[in-house]
Structures are given as C-alpha cells and as structure tokens.
Structure 1
Amino acid sequence: MLKKLLVPTDGSDSAYKAIYYARDLLKHKIAEEVVILHVGPAIGENWGFYGLSKADFELKYQCVLDDAGKRILRLAREPFEKEGLPVETVYLCGDLAETIVNYAEENDFKAIIIGNKGFSKIAELLLGSVCDRVIRLAKIPVMVIR
C-alpha cells in the first residue's frame, strides 16, 4: 500500500490525468492519503527581464497569480469530492521541480505522481521538463502518467 502520495498540478490535461490516477488509487484503497500541490512562480530578480521590478510585480500581479493557483487547486479537488474522498491541497511558490521535490522530502511522501507534459513549453526547451527534473531530483519513486 502507498501511504502518502504527492500530485503536483499546473492545471494541464496531463496533470489532470495524474489527479484522476491518484484518485483511483485512493478510491481502491491502494493509497491512504493524497495531497495535490500547485507551485506558483517565485517572485525574484528575473522578473526584471519582463520589464517589472520586484515591487511592481508584488503589488500588481501576486494576487492574480494566487487566485489562479487557488482556482487550479479548487478544480483539482473536484474528482475527489465527487467520490466523497479526502484530499488536501497545498499552494507554494518557487522553482517548480525543486519545490515539488523538497516538499515531498520534508513531508515524508512515499511517491510522486506527475503528468508528463505541462504548460511551460519555452522553459521545457531551455531547462528540460518539470517532470524530467523531478525524476532526476527525487529520492522517492516518481510515477509518470501519460
């Protein structure tokens, strides 16, 4: 039995496949606990590249990003709630892959279930996909859902 599963989501179709997979594991009592994690972008110096100072970004855009993250998590809960299954959601900010892996390690998750494709195509070309980076960084099993 898988005790505690982490399911990162960016709201993409691929992430929803991972959410439904985790829901089914919980439903069939293969998993005991599922936590859905959304990682928003970190506010930092790189926002100057987009013509925004850190202060401008904090004032004008953080609320928008937080609302989007909360919406993604609210939608991610629905498959569990429709089945009467418990699920926890968490919203963090930071580097996507590092934040996912660090959260999993710090909270004693037994596995990560992740979709193979997200929304970030440009970052994927430059850095590799979040899924690839999570696989490389994680010290626990990572299940990739296609």
Structure 2
Amino acid sequence: MRKMRTALITEANKGVGLEIARKLVDEGFFVFIGSHDLQKGIEAVKELAAEGLGTVDVVQLDVNNQPSVDAARKEIGVKVDVLDLLINNAGIISDMPQSALGYCVYSINDVFERNYYGPTRVAHAFFDLMRKSAKPRIVNVTGDLGSQGVASAFG
C-alpha cells in the first residue's frame, strides 16, 4: 500500500499555487512545488515547513522550456513512482483588451507559450507517472481570461 498521494503544482511558490499546496498537504498529499526560480521555490518550502507542513519538496520547472520540464520529470521520477495529481498553475495574462491593429504579436506568443503549450508540455512529460495512479487527475488553473464568455467581451 502506498503511503500518500502525490501532486505536482507548477509555479506553486506564491499566490494561488502556494495556497493549493497548503490545502493538498492538509489533505494528505506529498506536494512537489514547481518553480521556474529555484530559490523562490526553496523559500516557499521553508515557509510551509515553518507552518508545520513538511510533506513538500521543490523542483525547478520552467514550463516554457522543454529541457527544464524533462529535468523536473527525471528528478520527480527518482523520488516517486506515481503522480496522482498535476496542477497546471503557471500562467500569464496579456494587456487586455487589445484592438485588432494595436496588439503585440510577441505578447500574444508569450501568453500562448505559457498558458497553452506549457501545460501541454508538462502533462505529456508526466503522463507515464500519472498512468500508474488509481485516480490520476490534471487540473488547469485559470482566471477570467480563460473563460470564453469573458474573453468574448473583449472582442
């Protein structure tokens, strides 16, 4: 019998991701704090440990960088055989609204890279560990800009 369920949260070193980590640890999960800035991830782990939440570890993970994702997969795979929960929390927003003539293609590219390709890249890298879970889950965290209804209001 496995000891505890495992989770990976991208960009969990602050904000919503860090709060999700707190809640998951309370629910009995071992949580990997994914952070593109390793030092900020280490600080988040220390913060949680100071609160008595010690079943966490940090992994350097930049969702925009395939070698970083691959290295995170390798590192986590050495520590656990199964990943039960993947929470894609890393995301950015663009300056909204943008007119058809006033948009910046580089800004749009950055948004797609982090918000679409990043979660896809991470999910694909961890599918093998998730397939070993009895109840694997992927959760994609989004704000209002992920809503088709809200986004259409900018049209």
Distance 1:3 1:112 in 2: 11
Contact kept, 8 Å, 1:116 with 1:144, in 2: the verdict is no
Match of 2:49 in 1: 81
Q: 1:2 to 1:130 in 2, by over 3 A?
A: farther
Q: Does 1:24 align with 2:30?
A: no
**What's the counterpart of residue 38 of structure 1?**
35
Larger Cα-atom Rg? 2
Select the structure with the greater relative contact order (CA < 8 A; seq sep ≥ 6): 1
The size of the alignment, in residue pairs, is 112
Q: Please give the TM-score of this superposition, normalised by the length of structure 2.
A: 0.51
Deviation at 1:22, TM superposition (A): 2.3
Q: Could you say what the CA RMSD is over the residues aligned between the two structures, in angstroms?
A: 3.6
SS of structure 1 residue aligned to 2:7 = strand
Structure 1: unaligned runs, 5 residues or longer: 40-67
Q: Distance in 2 between matches of 1:7 and 1:77?
A: 13
Q: Contact 1:113–1:142 (CA<8 Å) still a contact in 2?
A: yes
Partner residue in 1 for 2:101: none
Contact 2:59–2:72, Cα closer than 8 Å, also in 1:
no
Gaps of 5+ in 2: 94-106, 131-136, 143-155
Deviation of 1:115 after TM superposition, in Å, equals 0.5
State the Cα deviation string for residues 8-64 of structure 1 (Å, max 9, x = none). Answer: 3275x6xx312211211211x342x1121334xxxxxxxxxxxxxxxxxxxxxxxxx
Choose between structure 1 and 2: higher helix proportion: 1
Partner of 1:3: 5
TM-aligned CA distance change 1:97 to 1:91, over 3 Å = closer
Q: CA deviation at 1:85?
A: 0.5
Secondary structure at the counterpart of residue 9 of structure 1: coil
**Residue 117 of structure 1, aligned match among 84, 91, 94:** 91
Higher fraction of strand = 1
- TM-score, normalization by structure 1: 0.53
